[in-house]
Amino acid sequence: MYAERVLSGMRPTGSLHLGHYHGVLKNWVKLQHEYPCLFFVADWHALTTQYDDPRGIERAAREMVIDWLAAGVDPAQATLFIQSQVPEHAELHLLMSMMTPLGWLERVPTYKDQIEKLSTKDLMTYGFLGYPLLMSADILIYRADKVPVGEDQIPHVEFTRELARRFNHMYGREPGFEEKAREAVKKLGSKKARLYDELRTRFQERGDSEAVERAHALLEEVQNLSHADRERLFGYLEGGGKMILVEPEALLTKASRMPGLDGQKMSKSYGNTITLREDEASLTQKVRRMPTDPARVRRTDVGEPARCPVWQLHQVYSDDTCRAWVEQGCRSAGIGCLECKQPVIEGILKEQAPMRERAQLYLDDPTLVRNIIADGNERARKLAQETMRDVREAMGLDYS
């Protein structure tokens, strides 16, 4: 009933680094060609931990959008927007908060973890506990069925699925639901109605998931069906109420293998990053200062790539020939470390060249970015408003 749709969000953390590029953005760039995509700046999410110092958020959000654009996220393909500019997220969050069991929130694995990890902050707040619920609202309000996230966010998507089910069950059972659903089946025409009933029975009696998929495909094909009837038939199929909110699926983004300057995972908190648009001089200096195999004190000492963080960057940026040159040269002291680092520097520069070029366009003309965001906000708002209309109606709050 609802089109395929991808949604993902990112907290505005300031300038992004190559870890974000290899871990997340490259995937977004790929997805934007495969599905309609919505990507947003989760600025309210930043507030859940940064409520004491919100001043920098807006600037970080703009910078981050420039990084997305630089990485190749294309506003002609994907919708880019800012969470707080679509206040419907807050309305859905509020309505769902009424029916969200406290225990579900307390059991989300990141909750206790984060409180312990960020022990210098007081996170015993209402907003911080409700953070997964806000994320659920972000997803459900667009009826997004695919949510690309890293492993740490999977429990949040699972939580979202449970909430959608609870919501549909609670508010999708309008008076006379069964009768209305039977009426809607008839409207499919006798042939399709028979097939629908058959698939429904197969699912309900035998849990046949292929039958559900086929029934979904069938309903998607049917043209002359009202929105409400469609929702009913989707819900009736699986035995719940109307399907008002769509259960999303996580698209697991494989953990990025992007090593930082010290060989640990690249992360701002380790201070080992190269930013997406790092200028050439600073990039060169950072790589030149990278630690190498500690056994190579003098140029004539032999080394072992496996003990060297530079070698890990060669895995990302060099081809087989170059890597063979490194292994041979390092183990025989045939090359020096600065020499060895040069191809890495060049590889990163080459990767960044198109990013720098695209970013320059937006830096030269900030109204471009403003317009892209304004445009995205508006498109997102339209979709969010549609869902909210159905949600209010289902809850009997539409005052029409």
Q: Which residues bind ligand SF4 (CB under 6 A)?
A: 292-293, 296, 303, 305, 308, 310-311, 326, 330, 335, 337, 340-341
**How far is C-alpha 107 from the geometric centre of its chain's CA atoms?**
22
CB of 258 to ligand SF4, least distance (A): 18
SS3 279: coil
CB of 310 to ligand SF4, least distance (A): 4
Q: Which two tokens stand for residue 137?
A: 């609202």
**Do the Cβ atoms of 359 and 69 come closer than 8 Å?**
yes
- The whole-angstrom separation of Cα 329 and Cα 342 is 14
Comparison of 277 and 341: residue with beta carbon closer to ligand SF4: 341
CB of 313 to ligand SF4, least distance (A): 9
Nearest position to ligand TRP, beta carbon: 9
Q: Is 348 exposed, middle or buried (0-12, 13-18, 19+ CB in 10 A)?
A: buried
Find the binder of ligand TRP among 7, 313, 348, 383 (CB under 6 A). Answer: 7
Identity of the amino acid at 174 = E
Q: Is 243 near ligand TRP (CB under 6 A)?
A: no
Comparison of 79 and 292: residue with beta carbon closer to ligand SF4: 292
SS3 222: coil
Find the binder of ligand TRP among 149, 243, 344, 345 (CB under 6 A). Answer: 149
Is 112 labelled as part of a ligand binding site?
no
Q: Which residue has the tokens 């859905």?
A: 92
Is 388 labelled as part of a ligand binding site?
no
Is 12 labelled as part of a ligand binding site?
yes
Residue 149 binding target from ligand SF4, ligand TRP, none, CB below 5 to 8 Å by type: ligand TRP
- The whole-angstrom separation of Cα 191 and Cα 186 is 10
Count of residues touching ligand TRP (by CB under 6 A): 13
Instruction: Name the packing angle between helices 26-34 and 57-71 (round to 10°).
Output: 70
**Within 202-241, which residues bind ligand TRP (CB under 6 A)?**
none
Residue 310 binding target from ligand SF4, ligand TRP, none, CB below 5 to 8 Å by type: ligand SF4
Q: Which two tokens stand for residue 240?
A: 């719940």
Is 146 labelled as part of a ligand binding site?
no
Q: Is 399 exposed, middle or buried (0-12, 13-18, 19+ CB in 10 A)?
A: exposed
Find the binder of ligand TRP among 66, 86, 92, 147 (CB under 6 A). Answer: 147
Identity of the amino acid at 278 = E
CB of 269 to ligand SF4, least distance (A): 25
Q: What is the DSSP letter of 78?
A: E
Comparison of 130 and 343: residue with beta carbon closer to ligand TRP: 130
Find the binder of ligand TRP among 43, 67, 88, 138 (CB under 6 A). Answer: 138
Q: Which residue has the tokens 């008076």?
A: 175
Q: What is the DSSP letter of 241?
A: S
Q: How far is CA 283 from CA 65, 144, 343, 348, in A?
A: 22, 38, 13, 9
Identify the helix (H) or strand (E) that includes residue 9: strand 6-10
Is 138 labelled as part of a ligand binding site?
yes
Comparison of 129 and 316: residue with beta carbon closer to ligand SF4: 316
- The whole-angstrom separation of Cα 196 and Cα 326 is 63
Q: Is 42 near ligand TRP (CB under 6 A)?
A: yes
- The whole-angstrom separation of Cα 316 and Cα 313 is 5
- Of the candidate spans 49-57, 132-140, 267-275, 326-334, the one that interacts with ligand TRP by CB under 6 A turns out to be 132-140
CB of 294 to ligand SF4, least distance (A): 9
- The whole-angstrom separation of Cα 300 and Cα 335 is 9
Q: What is the DSSP letter of 166?
A: H
Comparison of 66 and 139: residue with beta carbon closer to ligand TRP: 139
CB of 148 to ligand TRP, least distance (A): 7
Is 268 labelled as part of a ligand binding site?
yes
Q: How far is CA 371 from CA 80, 81, 375, 376, 383, in A?
A: 11, 11, 6, 8, 19
Q: Is 50 near ligand TRP (CB under 6 A)?
A: no
Q: Is 135 near ligand TRP (CB under 6 A)?
A: yes
- The whole-angstrom separation of Cα 157 and Cα 136 is 7
Q: Is 253 near ligand TRP (CB under 6 A)?
A: no
Q: Residues within the annotated binding site for ATP?
A: 11-13, 19-20, 150-152, 265-269
For the annotated binding site, the residues are 11-13, 19-20, 138, 150-152, 265-269
Binding site for ligand TRP (CB under 6 A): 7-11, 42, 45, 135, 138-139, 147, 149, 153
Annotated binding site for L-tryptophan: 138
